[in-house]
Structure 1
Amino acid sequence: MWQLLVIGTLVVVVQGRYENINVKQDWWETAVFYQIYPRSFMDSDGDGVGDINGITSRLEYLKELGVDATWLSPIFKSPNHDFGYDISDYYSINPDYGTIEDFEQLLKKAGELNIKVILDFVPNHSSNESDWFIKSSNRDEYYSDWYIWENGHMNDRGQKSPPNNWVSLFSKSAWSYMPSRDQYYLHQFGPSQPDFNYRNPVVVEEMKNIIKFWLEKGVAGMKINAVNHLFEVDKDVYGGRYPNEPITGKPGIGPDDYGFLDHIYTKDQEETYDMVSQLRDVFDAITIRDNLTRVMMSEASTSIKNAVRYYGSGNHAGAHIPFNLALIADLNKNSDARDIKYTIDRWLTYKPLRKQANWVSGNHDKSRVASRFRGELVDAFNMLVLLLPGIAITYMGEEIGMANGFVPWSETRDPRACRTDDPVNFVEVSRDPVRTPFQWSNGKHAGFSNADSTWLPVAEGYEQLNVAAQRSAVRSHYQVYRSLTALRMRPAFRLGRYESLALNSDVYAFKRWYNDDTYVVVMNVGRVYHVVNLTAFDLIFGQLEVEVSSVLSSRTYSDSVQANYLDLAADEALVLRMQV
């Protein structure tokens, strides 16, 4: 086994061989981040809703997993029209989740366990119930220009209509009428989420103050949500009116659907990258003062060329971790080994050479691996996330192979689904199935809550698929995940080189090596048996030893396999180490 000591320089004991690794790495550069959706993680007070004290009570679980930092979906005060992504007070905790004192206790215990806490920050919009928006809607002198306000126009029937054809991500018009101003306000998300005006320097300064407040409180960083929506086109360039966006012409999509338009005026504006650099300066100032990096993460659903620009360029720093959504956005049930190789290598090719990659396979908006692909591939995708070069990000439940729950129309809470007004096809857009309560045990409500009912129903099958069952099992997704987080501590995965091959349409493999310590991660993502030859990689030969195997594999730790003749069962995934 390897022992790792980090004191400026890494001193590693490797089966009796000593090596000095003169590479300094900051805490976040090889970290495992674990995303918690607080409403669904652990309920401590029996009201059917997860809360901060529930998270605090389960921090030891994160430590067991090998997690370095936990990122919490928004916990700020909110009327919950979009469950925290509509913030009414950026300086207060949502009462559903507890108090500021509860949060301080969470920070304290997390610190004792050496787990960093990251907050999800939503700077694109506030709640329409925030004091800021209420004052702006009443033309308060100070707040009047904090949001995007625009006059409507009269349609052919003599009725007042929105300023243009812009469509919300939640479908239908991105404009809502406010009688108190006799104007429309822009909301790129739901009507309860009015967009801030980032061309107002007072708004920008307030956003910086919010970041400072929470960093001073002791959080280790913040994730900037929906960052590419911060700016809309400058209407002054278009004669003082916001122009219509062009129609995509995609078949089967109506004018109320987001995909109906090409959103060239409402996202990915050039000013966004400078704003990210300005926000990064806030993180860096406190980092320098405290000599502890406060990490800035950013999330943007956009093209790869736009996404990697958030790393920054030249003298303009960007985010430490611009989210790489490729494993979520670019792969599906029909993807094969060639698609996986292309998707991974594409990100590594486009990102700046000296910047850290990051990997995530699911989140609170997109299905986990067990539902987006199939349960048999859970271990394979955890191997990708945890052993590819860079930072690992895990959405709660991926470590045990949780699957989507079923939430009927009558219990649907997601505003994006409700806004469709469609009790049949709402499932196509609903995010509720990936937000069902975490499955701790086979007890009442899967051990999540002792309430009579929970805010969303628990997924079926929790009696067998839960943490307690997998903790006690000799082989389980949970056990595999823990083995992988331990393995990634080794220099070959922290510092090593990377090479990948699609050995055929079903079998993907990648090699990680540092000095003479070499590993091959190989996975059959197909449904049939294959024999492959790993000597297709340079300097892979002879026998390899199994370090980690997927749950359904017949192989276990320390088994030997032949490099030139490896038989792989359907869905089998292995981490192999060269014997030297």
Structure 2
Amino acid sequence: MTTVQMLSDDELNRAWWKEAVVYQIYPRSFNDSDGDGIGDLRGTIERLDYVADLGVDVIWLNPVYDSPQKDNGYDISDYQAIYGEFGTMADWEALLAEVHDRDMRLVMDLVVNHTSDQHEWFQKSRQRDPEYEDYYIWRDGGTDEHGNRTPPNNWESFFGGSAWEYDAERGEYFLHLYDTSQPDLNWRNDAVRRDIFDTIEWWLEKGIDGFRMDVINLLSKVKGLPDGDPDSEWIGAEHFIDGPAMLSYLEAMDEEVLSDYDVMTVGEMPQLTVESAREYAGADGPLDMAFHFQHTKLDYDDGERWSVGDWSLPELKRLTDRWQNGLAADGWNTLYWENHDQPRSVSRYGDPENYRRESAKLLGTFILTLRGTPYIYQGQELGMTNADWETMDDLRDVDAINHARELLDRDGVEDYDDVKDIVGYRTRDNARTPMQWDDSHNAGFTDGDPWIQVNSNYEAVNAADQRADEDSVYSYYRRLIQLRSDRDVLVYGDYMGLLPDHESVFAYTRSLATEDRTERMLVVLHFDGDTETVDLPVDYVDATLVESNYDHDDADPGTVTLAPYEARVYELFD
């Protein structure tokens, strides 16, 4: 029989954010209360009972700060004001109170790698105000043989094109790793760090429960800003990801502000490795956990984002094993498939046409039974899918629009139809279509004209129908969240992967022995549209099937025949 090390309650190193399930709300697309076609804070309050009934513990609210909305709120013009179309500060305060009244917590987005070019700091910096002149990263450029201006280096913006924009008012280039409207802050400047830390403390004093930190490992840039490797995925990344002062910036943030509060901190970190995750979010690290992106690139063709390739289940297993085992002794995982930047997982890793319900449940089983904190993105619990983007005019995502134009130029074509499939598959707009509340006009999201199109399948996929159906994706998520809440083994238990080379079956055990009890669980996931018979290499005396996305009278975990996209969760007894 399997031997499991006995742990005391103290040795579990309990924390509320480890035991939580997080629900992400993208307010612009969640619920519109005033009929202007844009989701808002009052609309979010109206739907809080739905979120609470799902059983989650934390709401992560995407940016609601004042903003020109060039990048849907990630271009902030005032960190201490609310964007008018979302509501007022009083509305936000009401939302916080309503969240807390339902025994949930509220986590806000922290976007401090860059601001909007409409922020007061940038306006003063471009005017060379002595107090703000060095708040952003300004450089002289050069000239080419024809006398045309050239940027200071070859760094590339994540949204396409050069990461430098010439500002005629100041007469210099400024760095923007994202959109031209999002200039990067100069974190070498002590005054910048002080202002950011004051902003963090201001929100914590208002009562929020933590931060999701946007692209937080981009703050430190290599001195001198040298050219990057022109053959890299993101040119210049070796000079601005995990830069030399990165850890010290986060440690100062923790020591000077965060450590005074009982909050949850999670960093979004491009190109994160297990080793750097332990440094940033290990037991002695400044953060609680961090998002990596390795599993979100499985369906890239040869590492190219704006392409579609076949993905491999054994590769997903290798990634999962690496992160589950790599952070087991020092660190904590984030578990997610979707967010506001990722297309819908059912359309990527499931079968939205033939087995939408089954594959949505399977993907939910995966994130809710591994070691780490699960994150559910609005609509994921319904099995929402990618939408159809028939014309460029349908798109709202600046990233997708810029790359669509680049693809047209690169391929020498003029018709959007020639790039529609890849742009439609990758665009972040897939995650931003309105929440599908019911089968009424505009899916119950708004009485007006929605800011972005509603997915055409809302009559078949919506919350009202699923809440009334015990066999729905929503009901399945609700049961699994409750199961995770009831079983410490699904939070703190050891992970062991099984069948590493199997092409369609992902199986693993979770094991935990405490002073009170010993628990063992087995999870079996079939990522395929055909049936599959497999021998599961587990030792046990007895077993109980506690959850499945198919009906079973009796299903022993020995030699099992799995239906398309079947998921099973067993309790094992030695």
Normalization by structure 2: what TM-score?
0.88
Instruction: Note if 1:299 corresponds to 2:233.
Output: no
Residue 566 of structure 1: aligned partner? 560
Aligned counterpart in structure 1 of residue 401 of structure 2, from 418, 421, 427: 418
Q: What's the CA shift for 1:307?
A: 4.4
Tell me how far 1:541 sits from its aligned partner: 4.4
Corresponding residue number in structure 1 for 2:569: 575
Alpha-carbon separation, structure 1, partners of 2:179 and 2:257:
29
Which amino acid letter does the alignment assign opposite residue 514 of structure 1?
A: L
Instruction: Assess, with a 3 A threshold, how the Cα gap between structure 1 residues 86 and 359 changes in structure 2: closer, same or farther.
Output: same
Aligned letter for 1:357?
N
Match of 2:362 in 1: 380
Q: CA deviation at 1:294?
A: 1.1
Identity across aligned pairs (percent)? 32
- Counterpart selection for 2:194 from 200, 205, 209: 205
Partner of 2:545: 546
| Amino acid aligned to 2:545 | V
Q: CA deviation at 1:262?
A: 5.1
Pick closer, same or farther for the CA change 1:483–1:573 going to 2, 3 Å.
Answer: same
Q: CA shift at 1:518, angstroms? A: 2.3
Determine the C-alpha separation between the residues in 2 that align with 1:130 and 1:25.
Answer: 40
Q: Distance in 1 between matches of 2:8 and 2:241?
A: 47
How far apart, CA to CA, are the structure 1 residues paired with 2:83 and 2:148? 39
Amino acid at match of 1:445: N
Note the residue ranges of structure 2 that are not aligned, 5 or more in a row.
1-6, 301-308, 351-355, 409-415
Q: Is the contact made by 1:441 and 1:447 (CA closer than 8 Å) also made in structure 2?
A: yes
Kindly tell me: are residues 62 and 342 of structure 1, through their superposed partners in 2, closer, same or farther at Cα, counting changes over 3 Å?
same
Residue pair 2:535, 2:560 contacting (<8 A) in 1 also: yes
Q: CA deviation at 1:337?
A: 3.8
What is the 5 A alignment of 1:491-510? 491-502=488-499, 504-510=502-508
Aligned to 2:248: 274
One-letter amino acid matched to 2:235: L
Residue 564 of structure 2 aligns with an amino acid whose one-letter code is A
Deviations 1:459-485 (A, max 9, x none): 111101011111111301111101100
How far apart are 1:105 and its partner, in Å? 0.4
Does the aligned pair in 2 maintain the 1:273–1:309 contact within 8 Å?
no
Partner of 2:318: 342
In structure 2, relative to structure 1, the CA distance for the partners of 1:20 and 1:173 (3 Å cut) is closer
Runs of 5+ consecutive residues of structure 1 not aligned to the other structure? 1-18, 236-241, 250-258, 288-292
CA pair 42-87 structure 1, distance change in 2 beyond 3 A? same
Residue 367, structure 1, aligned to residue 348, structure 2: no
* SS of 1:317 mapped into structure 2: coil
Query: Of 438, 450, 455, which aligns to 1:454?
Result: 450
Matches within 5 A, 1:86-485: 86-235=75-224, 242-248=225-231, 259=233, 261=235, 263-287=237-261, 293-305=262-274, 307-312=276-281, 317-330=285-298, 334-351=310-327, 353-374=329-350, 375=356, 376-407=358-389, 408-420=391-403, 421=405, 422=408, 423-424=416-417, 425=419, 426-427=423-424, 430-451=427-448, 453-485=449-481
Q: Alpha carbons of 1:334 and 1:419: their partners in 2 closer, same or farther (altered >3 Å)?
A: closer
- Deviation by residue 1:91-113 (Cα, 9 ceiling, x = unmatched): 11111111110010011111111
Q: Secondary structure at the match of 1:419?
A: helix
Q: How many correspondences in the alignment?
A: 532
Query: Residue 533 of structure 1 aligns to which amino acid in structure 2?
Result: D
Q: Which has the higher contact order (CA 8 A, sep 6+)?
A: 2
Structure 1 residue 505 displacement after superposition:
1.9
- Alignment-mate amino acid for residue 206 of structure 2: K
* In structure 2, distance between residues paired with 1:331 and 1:342: 15
- How far apart in 2 are the matches of 1:320 and 1:260? 27
Superposition deviation, residue 560 in structure 1: 2.1
State the shift of 1:326 in Å: 3.7
Compare 524-533 and 468-477 and name the one that shifted more.
Answer: 524-533
CA separation in 2, counterparts of 1:429 and 1:151?
A: 35
Would the aligned equivalents of 1:268 and 1:306 in 2 still touch at CA under 8 Å? no
Name the Cα RMSD after superposition. 2.1
